[in-house]
Amino acid sequence: MQIRDLPYADPGVPDVRSGTRFLLWLGRNQLGGQVKALLWGLLLQLGIAGLPLGVGVAVQAVVDRDGGRLALAAGLLVGCGLAIAVGDTMLHRVAVTNWITAAARVQQLLSRKTAELGSVLTRRVAAGEVVSVSTGDVEKIGWFVEALSRFAAAALSLLIVCVALVVYQPALGIVVTIGVPVLALAVLPLLPRATRRADVQREKAGKATELASDTVAGLRVLRGIGGEELFLGRYRAASQEVRKAAVHSARMWALIAAIQVLLPGVLLIVVVAYGARLALDGRITVGELVTVYGAVALTHHPMRNFEEIAMAFSFSRPSAKRAARVLALTRTTTTTDAAGEEREATGDLYDPLTGLVAPAGRFTAVVCGDPDVAGRLADRLGGHPTEPAEGHTSVLLGGVPLDELPLAAARTAVLVQDKDPVLLSGSLRELLDVPSSGAVRAEDALAAAQCGDVLDALAQASVDTDEDPMRTRITERGRSLSGGQRQRLALARSLVTDPEVLVLDEPTSAVDSHTESRVADGIARLREGGTTVVLASSPLLLDRADRVVLVHDGQAVAVGTHRELLAKEPRYRAVVTRETDEELAAAGSRLHGIDADELEALEGETA
């Protein structure tokens, strides 16, 4: 896999049983890149290891006044230099490719999981943690995958050097062969403590990121209640904790680095002292002593890879653990696509957990009272249970569990628009260019959602001479539009899709009552013959529904029309009108035959 070939056609199915298994899975899936990096790393390390041999041969040639051997030494040094240049260049190229492609694979997996779970993802995992995983954690995971092959090349080259030294000069080679493993393993007792400190640092950094993300998301509310300084103080405290943890962790890594500098120096002193005695006794030549000395002096180069792989693993393991936790989230149950495609999902929408039934082809309104309960119910109706206890009671569409359908089929059958829909940047035409049945035109959806003023505003903002609002670009998340305008454009997008079942969670909460009334009429008209479920408490929407279901304490407790429930069900009146029974009794005589304008006025009085 090359960078130019990204993204992956299929990033694969990850092993998410643990962070370590996830890292190993990534390494196995880039086996080709790992082998290339290993080979180029060997060329680099062996080129470096060959330099002392060339120098030793050259020194001995000068001592012996042997011009032929001196030329041979020069050729050997040139060859080593070329090997180092080529190996270092290609190793860097392949290693960076491994890093980027591993990070890209993780990001694709996270994107796929986000698309699969939708809004349920942030209900199960904090939004800040998702941000942390998709940014900093991805970098650290890629670092470990990239460092793994370089570590393998360094370890293999050290083994080759030790064997070669034993063959070349047994007396000194045995000393080096005993000393190098000691150098490599000396820091092992310190690694668990360093890893724990790194885990603490990453945990505190993740919490600080979550706090920052949540603060930015709620900045408008914080400003409204004057809470900026409070949250700023909390972030400052969290930031200082991250700093202290980072310093605490860095001290341990500094100690490990110092040991890896000190011990090779000690080994070098031992080799020089012992080698000098052997040279004085005439047991080795000066050239052989220089060769062994140079080989030992250069062991620090591959030894640095031991420290790096330890750091990479210590920092990437918590990151991989978080990524695996996110990737391990599932819809609920899983079936093969073939099994799911054999079953047609059409008919009534039924939720066994609450007892809610939305008949096919009807406009059903649902009143919950608690917005959070309504949001969770909307997610359930889309096939995404949000609580562990809900996993065994999937919503049924025509008797078929939604979570047993392939994701594409479930999304085609049921579309859920939550109370805070997101508008991506792009033109209005691109916004409405979504997979759909083709039965609803964009113009009809915009008219039904009462987007006339939005089109006028976009036309005025258009830079084109024809002032075509469909070509006007909408900024990220629709920030240039008001809340009501964003909400209505999102509604138009949902109406264009024309799914078999459309679930809307408070689709008119940000618009005025006059616009809300017209939007309610537009939804009822455009969705005629289709299954529509609206979770709302507005009388203007409820009065347009064919049937209204009251959900109280997690159960559907009453079904009827808006006026029937208003007259007979006290719990329904408490949610919809927010009036006491005495106040409703006084107004009861006006409920019979009330028209839309009077109902709208009543809503204004009781809100």
Tokens 């990001």 locate to 107
Tell whether the model's pLDDT for residue 388 goes beyond 60: no
Other C-beta atoms closer than 10 Å to the C-beta of 110 total: 20
pLDDT of residue 559: 95
Contacts of 461 (CB under 8 A, 6+ apart): 472, 480
The token pair that represents 603 in the structure block: 């809503």
Q: What is the pLDDT of residues 32-82, one digit of tens each?
A: 889 999 999 999 988 888 888 888 888 888 888 888 888 998 998 999 999
Q: Which of 306, 339, 300 is nearest to 161 (CA)?
A: 300
Over pLDDT 70: what percentage of the chain? 85
CA distance 552 to 131: 35
349-351 β-sheet, strand order = 356-358, 349-351, 396-397, 400-401
Longest CA pairwise span in the chain (Å) = 123
Tell whether the model's pLDDT for residue 578 goes beyond 80: no
Tell whether the model's pLDDT for residue 582 goes beyond 60: no
CA distance 81 to 88: 10
CA distance 345 to 354: 20
Bridge partners, residue 533, by sequence: 364, 503
DSSP class per residue in 307-352: HHHHHHHHHHHHHHHHHHHHHT--SS----HHHHHTS---S-EEET
Q: Which of 307, 498, 483, 292 is nearest to 413 (CA)?
A: 498
Q: 558: helix, coil or strand?
A: strand
CA distance 22 to 135: 17
Query: Using an 8 Å Cβ cutoff, are 84 and 44 in contact?
Result: yes
Handedness of CA 118, 121, 123, 127 (dihedral sign): negative
Q: What is the pLDDT of residues 307-350, one digit of tens each?
A: 788 888 877 888 888 888 888 887 655 444 444 444 566 889 99
CA distance 295 to 267: 11
Confidence band for 603, pLDDT divided at 50, 70 and 90: very low
Query: Using an 8 Å Cβ cutoff, are 601 and 595 in contact?
Result: no
Q: 185: helix, coil or strand?
A: helix
pLDDT of residue 334: 46
| Identity of the amino acid at 280 | L
CA distance 474 to 588: 47
